[in-house]
């Protein structure tokens, strides 16, 4: 926590707005819209809820196909199944580790050939806080008139050509899960320059209550709004977001200075003209080139009670999505085999970081 969160939470208690609406919710939406320089935002209970509502708002229904980056967390893809739509998974390129625009266009045109219809939406992700090739992805989606849902769950505070990630798609989504750069313990947001979308999201997230004196419903709704107490935490967190991005980038620089030139190690790259938030510092270890491998490092750190984790297992390899069509090129499979998320918490001291670096350097024999 940054310090101010409790004041906003206290305000919710003092005014007795312990509810999924209130001043903090409205203010958090406005402050986030200002920060992102986008017209509107709807605060929700989770990033997953934001993706689910984005699909509904874009008319995705049972049997439709939705393209999703395969190299991601399951929260990106599960909402496709909530709609009984079919996920089509597309692999990543090596320059940002995010969805490959060439493969994306290939997938779109191939689906049209195979089904007679274009996919109903595309979900692109800025994984680990690093920008995807978003200009190209936007142009492809416009060319085929397919709505783009930009999953910026891990990328709050990052930008491409000076424009904040999450503001490129028809709808952007954010996550404030406990592990994210800004947290409300759990929470999310749907953001858009189209105010009809955020209005519709608010309506659907409050059980789709129609405008009437009594409780009238003409559509199925959801209980997806953010609590006024948690929005208070979010407001306080927003005040320290820029500091957190800078600290995350310092942590990356420290690892990169130590291992950036070591044979067999590749760091997640940063696209030209982009500034990632380096939510997690992630590396690949080529066991043929290196004195060690991913698992050896992970297990050695574990001995010191230091947690590191493999990269996301691609969705097309997940048992739950077995049989879904995919357009893959082995990039995400290699990343899953060789990739490691290094400890990246902004609370770590430089001394703790040095300790981690020393342990890894020992295995690398440098
Ligand atoms: C890439 C990605 N998409 C979606 C989500 C879902 O967000 P939430 O956990 O807030 O539902 C997460 C994180 O949890 C994520 O990392």
Cβ 280 vs Cβ 286: under 8 Å: no
Q: How far is the CA of 75 from the centre of ligand 1 (A)?
A: 5
pLDDT > 90: what percent of the chain?
A: 99
Instruction: Give, using CA atoms, the residue closest to atom 8 of ligand 1.
Output: 47
**What average pLDDT does the structure give for the chain?**
98
In this prediction, residue 366 carries a pLDDT of 86
Joined together, the tokens standing for residue 222 give 């959801």
Counting from 1 in the atom list of ligand 1, the atom nearest the Cα of 72 is 1
What pTM was estimated for this model as a whole? 0.98
Q: How far is the CA of 49 from the centre of ligand 1 (A)?
A: 9
CA atoms within 13 A on the CB side of 121: 32
Counting from 1 in the atom list of ligand 1, the atom nearest the Cα of 127 is 1
In this prediction, residue 9 carries a pLDDT of 98
For ligand 1, residues with CB inside 6 Å are 46-48, 72-73, 75-76, 125, 151, 153-154, 175, 177, 188
- In the three-class reduction of DSSP (H, G, I as helix; E, B as strand; rest coil), residue 68 is classed as strand
- In the three-class reduction of DSSP (H, G, I as helix; E, B as strand; rest coil), residue 161 is classed as coil
Give the model confidence (pLDDT) of 300-353 as tens digits: 999 999 999 999 999 999 999 999 999 999 999 999 999 999 999 999 999 999
Joined together, the tokens standing for residue 119 give 């996919």
- Mean pLDDT to the nearest integer, 103-125: 98
Instruction: Give, using CA atoms, the residue closest to atom 7 of ligand 1.
Output: 47
Q: How far is the CA of 175 from the centre of ligand 1 (A)?
A: 6
Range list of H helices, the chain: 5-14, 23-36, 47-57, 74-82, 101-115, 134-143, 195-205, 228-238, 241-259, 294-303, 331-338, 350-364
Return d(Cα 208, Cα 220) in angstroms, integer: 6
- Mean pLDDT to the nearest integer, 154-183: 98
Q: Is the dihedral of CA 299, 246, 26, 10 positive or negative?
A: positive
Counting from 1 in the atom list of ligand 1, the atom nearest the Cα of 187 is 10
Q: How far is the CA of 173 from the centre of ligand 1 (A)?
A: 9
Q: How far is the CA of 335 from the centre of ligand 1 (A)?
A: 19
- Mean pLDDT to the nearest integer, 265-275: 98
Q: How far is the CA of 214 from the centre of ligand 1 (A)?
A: 35
The yes-or-no verdict on residue 42 having pLDDT over 90 is: yes
Our mutation pick for probing the ligand 1 site, out of 46, 75, 128, 132, counting the most ligand atoms within 8 A of Cβ, is: 75
Report which of 233, 343, 332, 219 is spatially closest to residue 282, judged by C-alpha positions: 343
Burial class (CB in 10 A: 0-12, 13-18, 19+), 267: middle
In this prediction, residue 274 carries a pLDDT of 98
Our mutation pick for probing the ligand 1 site, out of 42, 44, 46, 48, counting the most ligand atoms within 8 A of Cβ, is: 48
- Mean pLDDT to the nearest integer, 178-186: 97
- Mean pLDDT to the nearest integer, 254-264: 97
Return d(Cα 134, Cα 132) in angstroms, integer: 5
- Mean pLDDT to the nearest integer, 157-161: 98
Q: How far is the CA of 116 from the centre of ligand 1 (A)?
A: 32
Band of residue 60 on the pLDDT scale cut at 50, 70, 90: very high
Q: How far is the CA of 164 from the centre of ligand 1 (A)?
A: 18
Report which of 254, 280, 249, 251 is spatially closest to residue 361, judged by C-alpha positions: 254
Which H/E stretch holds residue 265?
strand 265-267
- Mean pLDDT to the nearest integer, 191-199: 98
In this prediction, residue 282 carries a pLDDT of 98
Rg, Å, the chain Cα set: 21
In this prediction, residue 198 carries a pLDDT of 98
Rounded to 10°, the helix 294-303/350-364 angle is 130
- Mean pLDDT to the nearest integer, 106-121: 98
Our mutation pick for probing the ligand 1 site, out of 153, 183, 189, 191, counting the most ligand atoms within 8 A of Cβ, is: 153
DSSP letter, residue 73:
-
Give the model confidence (pLDDT) of 9-31 as tens digits: 999 999 999 999 999 999 999 99
Band of residue 260 on the pLDDT scale cut at 50, 70, 90: very high
């Amino acid at each position: 926590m940054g310090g101010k969160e409790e004041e906003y939470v206290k305000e919710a208690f003092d005014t007795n707005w312990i509810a999924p609406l209130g001043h903090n919710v409205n203010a958090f939406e406005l402050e986030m819209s200002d920060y992102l320089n986008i017209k509107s935002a709807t605060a929700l209970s989770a990033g997953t809820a934001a993706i689910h509502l984005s699909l509904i708002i874009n008319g995705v229904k049972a049997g439709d196909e939705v393209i999703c980056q395969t190299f991601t967390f399951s929260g990106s893809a599960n909402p496709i199944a909530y709609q009984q739509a079919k996920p089509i998974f597309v692999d990543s390129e090596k320059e940002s580790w995010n969805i490959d625009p060439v493969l994306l266009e290939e997938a779109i045109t191939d689906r049209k050939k195979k089904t007679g219809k274009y996919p109903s939406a595309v979900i692109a992700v800025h994984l680990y806080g690093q920008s995807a090739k978003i200009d190209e992805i936007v142009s492809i989606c416009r060319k085929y008139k397919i709505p783009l849902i930009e999953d910026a769950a891990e990328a709050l505070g990052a930008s491409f050509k000076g424009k904040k990630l999450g503001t490129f798609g028809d709808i952007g989504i954010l996550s404030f899960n406990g592990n994210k750069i800004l947290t409300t313990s759990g929470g999310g947001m749907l953001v858009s320059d189209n105010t009809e979308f955020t209005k519709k999201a608010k309506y659907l997230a409050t059980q789709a209550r129609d405008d009437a004196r009594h409780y009238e419903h003409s559509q199925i709704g959801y209980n997806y709004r953010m609590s006024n107490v948690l929005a208070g935490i979010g407001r306080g967190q927003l005040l320290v977001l820029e500091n957190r991005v800078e600290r995350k980038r310092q942590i990356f620089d420290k690892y990169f200075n130590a291992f950036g030139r070591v044979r067999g190690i590749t760091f997640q790259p940063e696209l030209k003209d982009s500034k990632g938030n380096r939510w997690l510092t992630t590396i690949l270890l080529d066991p043929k080139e290196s004195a060690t491998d991913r698992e050896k490092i992970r297990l050695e750190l574990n001995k010191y009670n230091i947690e590191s984790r493999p990269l996301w297992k691609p969705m097309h390899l997940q048992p739950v999505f077995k049989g879904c069509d995919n357009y893959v090129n082995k990039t995400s499979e290699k990343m899953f085999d060789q990739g490691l998320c290094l400890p990246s918490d902004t609370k770590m001291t430089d001394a703790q970081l040095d300790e981690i670096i020393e342990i890894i350097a020992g295995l690398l024999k440098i």
